[in-house]
Amino acid sequence: MFENRNYLIFNMSEVDLIDFTNVLETSTETLRLSVDETKSFVKWEGETPSFVSDLTNTEGPYSHSQILEILSEEAWTPTGQMEE
């Protein structure tokens, strides 16, 4: 179901460079933030959006299974709130 999705982690300091018309999130308000609120991620299907090349400090792109593993880490899930 999510085989064609790609995920990219970026620094929130660059959130203004995100073109929300090219990703599945709709605005900064719909982004999931890391626990320390310094990072977030966007997802898209198909080709990599052109704005990605403007970002200077990214991680990925990742597949759906890879991002699920990353999001289960302490940096993304507060202690005691991990999903079972």
Cβ neighbourhood burial of 8 (10 Å; 0-12, 13-18, 19+): buried
Tens digit of pLDDT for each residue in 44-75? 999 999 999 999 999 999 999 999 999 999 99
pLDDT higher than 60, residue 81: no
pLDDT band at 80 (very low <50, low <70, confident <90, very high): low
Tens digit of pLDDT for each residue in 11-25? 999 999 999 999 999
The SS3 of residue 61 is strand
Tokens of 69: 């593993």
